Structure 1
Amino acid sequence: MRIIQSFKTPLFLIVAMGIAAHALAADKELKSVGLTVGDLGNPFFVQIAHGVAAKSKEYNPAVKITSLSSNYDIKEQARQMKDFVSSGVDLIILGAANSKAVASSVKHAKSRGVIVVAVDVGAEGGVDATVMSDNKQAGEQAGQYIVDKLHGKGQVVIVNGQPVTSVRDRVAGVLSVFKKNPEIKVLSQNQDAGGTTEGGERVMSDLLTSYRHLDAVFAVNDPTAIGCDLAGRKAKRTEFFIVGVDGSPEAVGAMKQKESLFEATSAQDPYLMAQKAVEVGYNILQGKKPEETSILIPVKLITRDNVSAYSGWTR
């Protein structure tokens, strides 16, 4: 026999209990945040650090924030994440140095109850959420600009970058456009410039030695594009133009220079991206999981024709 008992609780007590429960649910303070990104020498990642700090302090002005650069060294990033966990951070904002290789560090953090939100690039290992630009769209925008500028015919090189999802998606996006235009010939697409100006200059110098004529260059980010621009001008090769990704102040400055080969960039908003990542992480801390664990932020193509109207990154 199943016995059902009925209990009556005074209304004022129910209300009081509800208020108390709400207070308890909202009482999880964000005390400590750890941020690890590829390169804090890159203005893009500096903006991510600023965005993380600003949003975290909205939730707790006394929050402790540690921002570190992995320099795209996965072993260094693994050490950083281990230290974050040992120090008792509530939230890790992760800009992975290698989307696959970081998985074990993510799993370790998760096993210790730390919330991990990937920013800018995806990360394996079971992150709680990912907030990044629509990188495939960025590649598609860049590819279409190149195709239109060349009237569907020309020789192009892609200056590639790190083994992370954002870079892979950008390259996939640009290639998807080129494949629809068979007279666009991709001469090189696997040279890794490391996402830096120095790397871009080095790789581009080699490509200029290998190919006597180029029509366009797609660089996976703006620092790489700046390096490609330097290499072209040093070699006195001005027959081609360059398209990047980021919308950085440096890219804007280059596009405003007549002698620059830099003509367009798919603009991201790293500050906004970082703030969204912290917001998602904080909500998870409060027990509120996001409806979508992968959040894509649209990008906008900035060219020499519209750069004067571009207001730049949020901060």
Structure 2
Amino acid sequence: MREAFHLNFGRRAVLILYLFFAMPSAIAGSLGVIGIEASSLANPFFQALVRGIMFYARAVDPSVEVVTVQNEYDLHRNQSNLEQLKSRKVRVLFLNAANSTSVAPLIAEVRKAGIIVIAVDVEAAGAHATVMTDNLQAGQIACDYLAKALQGRGKVAIQTGPSVSSVIERVSGCKQSLQRYPDIQLVPGEFNGSGSPVGGRTAMAQILKAEPNIAGVFTINDRQAVGSDKTLTEAGRNDVYIISVDGSPEIAELMRRRPRVLGSAKQDPYAMAHKAVELAGLFLAGKTVAKPKIQLKSSLLTQDNLADYRGWEAEPGKISP
């Protein structure tokens, strides 16, 4: 898929000049062709991440050419995408892998071609560097908030998702928090929402069938939360709390209509994009990177701070501290 997202730079000329001069001198220069592989371009988070990478790349090199593809969590598609990007002679690949470990041989082949690989959002074995949310912490703060909303008791289910590091760590963080509440009962079973609204609907239906007395559910992303909400609405269940990870504009809108949607541990796709482009420039300049894995801390979007929410669309030029 060719570049699918465009930015209006007319309103941001001053910001672009600032970014150019604020970045280390090693980053400034020609990027040529870069590739971005996202898991799903239907996901608002990855749409924002792509916009962010394009924005910061163009702040460095206004003539940069961007090739954007998606893998839909399919390793075979991941492989064909990387072959396509190699044939396009990209200098940098910003990779959201379909599988964090199985992708290693593919990355090895890409690196043999002299391409810099920066993993974004999820880890990818063999990448030069990784920029991601601290997903363990995101899962921890989300499920701690859920447990407190339930006053430390009740039956809680976890919706899992694709087999990538971010999902695994969010689930692990959630379980760590719930273990601190002895009267919280975790519903047994594997409820995989596949990272999508449809998957969230199906997983929530499975949860209601497995445990009709469910009190709360943690979903690994906002898209699953949206699907779960639809299932609960159809079932007439306004007594089940939902909490998630992403902090997307979509979940903020849902929270305004559904008090049972407690919140979401926020990700910052623009800060992630900025760090990824910065690392790419350093590697291209032959610099040594002391910290090749960067984890961005998460904070909670809740019903209490919803009025102050500024969505991803409102922060296209945000620079992380």
For normalisation by structure 1, the TM-score amounts to: 0.89
Partner Cα distance (2:181, 2:28) in 1:
56
Alpha-carbon distance change, 218 to 267 in structure 1, aligned in 2, over 3 angstroms: same
Aligned residue pair count: 289
Alignment of 1:1-315 (within 5 A): 29-124=30-125, 126-188=126-188, 190-257=190-257, 259=258, 261-313=260-312, 314-315=315-316
Helix, strand or coil: the match of 1:72?
A: coil
Deviation per CA, 1:72-128: give whole Å up to 9, x if none. Answer: 11110111111111221000000111111111111111111110000000011x111
Which aligned segments of 4 or more residues in structure 1 are displaced greater than 4 angstroms? 25-28
Which AA in structure 2 matches 1:65?
A: V
- C-alpha displacement of 1:53: 0.6
Helix, strand or coil: the match of 2:295?
A: strand
Please tell me whether the aligned partners of residues 160 and 189 of structure 1 are also in contact (alpha carbons under 8 angstroms).
no
Which AA in structure 2 matches 1:92?
A: L
Partner Cα distance (2:249, 2:219) in 1:
16
Please tell me whether the aligned partners of residues 191 and 206 of structure 2 are also in contact (alpha carbons under 8 angstroms).
no
Partner Cα distance (1:105, 1:196) in 2:
26
- C-alpha displacement of 1:152: 1.3
- C-alpha displacement of 1:27: 8.6
Helix, strand or coil: the match of 1:141?
A: helix
Unaligned runs of 5+ in 2: 1-25, 317-321
Q: Which has the larger Rg?
A: 1
Partner Cα distance (1:276, 1:103) in 2:
22
Partner Cα distance (2:207, 2:289) in 1:
44
- C-alpha displacement of 1:246: 0.4
Unaligned runs of 5+ in 1: 1-24
Partner Cα distance (1:307, 1:29) in 2:
41
Helix, strand or coil: the match of 2:190?
A: strand
Alpha-carbon distance change, 165 to 177 in structure 1, aligned in 2, over 3 angstroms: same
- C-alpha displacement of 1:182: 2.0
Partner Cα distance (1:120, 1:174) in 2:
18
- C-alpha displacement of 1:242: 0.1
- C-alpha displacement of 1:188: 3.6
Which AA in structure 2 matches 1:77?
A: N
Partner residue, 1:8: none
Alpha-carbon distance change, 26 to 39 in structure 1, aligned in 2, over 3 angstroms: closer
Partner Cα distance (1:303, 1:156) in 2:
19
Partner Cα distance (1:143, 1:251) in 2:
17
Helix, strand or coil: the match of 2:117?
A: strand
Please tell me whether the aligned partners of residues 120 and 131 of structure 2 are also in contact (alpha carbons under 8 angstroms).
yes
Q: Which moved more, 1:182-191 or 1:74-83?
A: 182-191
